[in-house]
């Protein structure tokens, strides 16, 4: 039935227990099998969008997609707006990562051959409630970094698209979170700024709300790792940025510097 629907399927001998055994073997090994190229940049620079745009050509590990969470305190909202089921726990998170590795079908397909590095978004040790496997995190820390840059305007528009694609639902969920975490946000932002953000949400002014959050929360709280990037790419035009990233990747794996 699955084949008739057009999917390429494989039978796993031993079923889910066998699959989970391979997950553990891969993600608890002392050294992660594959090399990584880290994609860094400030919030809203399009790291996730860029990874998605090149995933049919280049090998990608998308930790946020595996967690169904955008990593920050607000990171569940984009998935909740779309009605996407929450990841049940650490086991499912790890299974999703392993599936991305094993089912990678990019033009530079790795499968069992660790010749080609995976692209991966820069993350802390946790994505939402879940821990990034230690061997992947160590490889990420040592990996070469490609830094994305972008204009404030494009960063605002991206965040609005992610968090307020359904404006009413996005505003509702954001207000609920801000009221639940009121003490935290007042400490991080100040009482005056917190009250102003609540007013912006209540009046539907998501553009000014997002600009304040970028300048006074994200850019101050989520600082980039102190790495010297091997390449900087402007992501205002994702199609152009994708082409630049693919060009860099090809030169990197061919040794043509």
If asked whether residues 42 and 161 sit together in one domain, one would say no
pLDDT for 256: 66
Rounded to the nearest angstrom, the gap between the alpha carbon of residue 65 and the centroid of all alpha carbons in its chain is: 6
Distance between CA atoms of residues 80 and 168, nearest Å: 13
User: What SS3 state is found at 131?
Assistant: strand
Average pLDDT of span 128-141: 96
pLDDT at 103 over 60: yes
If asked whether residues 161 and 206 sit together in one domain, one would say yes
Tokens of residue 228, six digits: 């010297």
Average pLDDT of span 79-86: 92
Query: What digits encode the pLDDT tens for the residues 104-134?
Result: 878 776 555 667 899 999 999 999 999 999 9
If asked whether residues 143 and 167 sit together in one domain, one would say no
Residue 25 in any domain: the answer is yes
Alpha helices in 55-190 (DSSP H): 63-67, 77-81, 90-102, 134-142, 152-163, 167-180, 182-189
If asked whether residues 159 and 230 sit together in one domain, one would say no
If asked whether residues 97 and 122 sit together in one domain, one would say yes
pLDDT for 170: 94
Distance between CA atoms of residues 253 and 168, nearest Å: 46
If asked whether residues 167 and 106 sit together in one domain, one would say no
If asked whether residues 55 and 131 sit together in one domain, one would say yes
If asked whether residues 235 and 121 sit together in one domain, one would say yes
If asked whether residues 179 and 141 sit together in one domain, one would say no
What's this model's pTM, rounded to 2 decimal places? 0.90
Distance between CA atoms of residues 151 and 130, nearest Å: 31
pLDDT for 2: 85
Residue 122 in any domain: the answer is yes
Residue 5 in any domain: the answer is no
CATH (domain of 31): 3.40.50
Quote the radius of gyration of the chain (alpha carbons, Å): 20
Domain coverage including residue 192: 153-219
Residue 97 in any domain: the answer is yes
Query: What digits encode the pLDDT tens for the residues 180-238?
Result: 999 999 999 999 999 999 999 999 999 999 999 999 999 988 766 678 999 999 999 99
pLDDT for 73: 87
Residue 6 in any domain: the answer is no
pLDDT for 257: 57
Long-range contacts of 53-58 (CB under 8 A, 24+ apart): 53/238, 53/239, 53/241, 53/242, 54/119, 54/242, 54/245, 54/246, 55/106, 56/105, 56/106, 56/107, 57/106, 57/107, 57/108, 57/246, 58/106, 58/107, 58/108, 58/119, 58/245, 58/246, 58/249
Closest CA to 127 of 83, 70, 76, 81: 70
Which residues are within 8 A (CB) of 31 and not within 5 positions of it... i.e. 6 or more apart? Answer: 135, 139
Phi, psi (5° rounding) for residue 220? -90, -35
If asked whether residues 24 and 45 sit together in one domain, one would say yes
How many domains does the chain fold into?
A: 2
Residue 4 in any domain: the answer is no
Mean pLDDT of the chain: 92
If asked whether residues 69 and 124 sit together in one domain, one would say yes
If asked whether residues 33 and 123 sit together in one domain, one would say yes
């Amino acid at each position: 039935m699955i084949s008739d629907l057009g999917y390429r399927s494989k039978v796993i001998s031993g079923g889910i227990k066998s699959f989970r055994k391979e997950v553990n073997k891969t993600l608890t090994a002392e050294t992660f099998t594959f090399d990584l190229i880290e994609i860094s940049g400030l919030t809203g620079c399009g790291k996730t969008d860029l990874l998605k745009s090149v995933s049919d050509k280049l090998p990608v590990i998308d930790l946020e997609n595996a967690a169904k969470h955008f990593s920050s305190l607000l990171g569940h909202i984009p998935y909740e707006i779309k009605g996407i089921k929450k990841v049940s726990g650490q086991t499912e998170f790890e299974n999703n990562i392993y599936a991305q590795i094993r089912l990678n079908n990019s033009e530079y397909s790795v499968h069992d051959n660790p010749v080609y590095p995976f692209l991966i978004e820069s993350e802390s040790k946790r994505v939402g409630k879940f821990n990034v496997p230690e061997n992947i995190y160590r490889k990420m820390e040592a990996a070469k970094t490609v830094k994305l840059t972008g204009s404030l305007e494009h960063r605002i528009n991206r965040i609005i698209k992610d968090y307020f694609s359904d404006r009413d639902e996005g505003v509702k969920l954001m207000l609920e979170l801000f009221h639940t975490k009121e003490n935290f946000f007042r400490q991080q932002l100040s009482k005056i700024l917190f009250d102003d953000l609540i007013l912006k949400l209540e009046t539907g002014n998501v553009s000014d709300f997002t600009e304040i959050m970028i300048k006074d929360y994200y850019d101050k709280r989520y600082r980039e790792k102190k790495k010297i990037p091997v390449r900087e790419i402007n992501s205002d035009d994702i199609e152009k940025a994708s082409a630049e990233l693919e060009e860099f990747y090809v030169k990197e794996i061919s040794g043509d510097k």
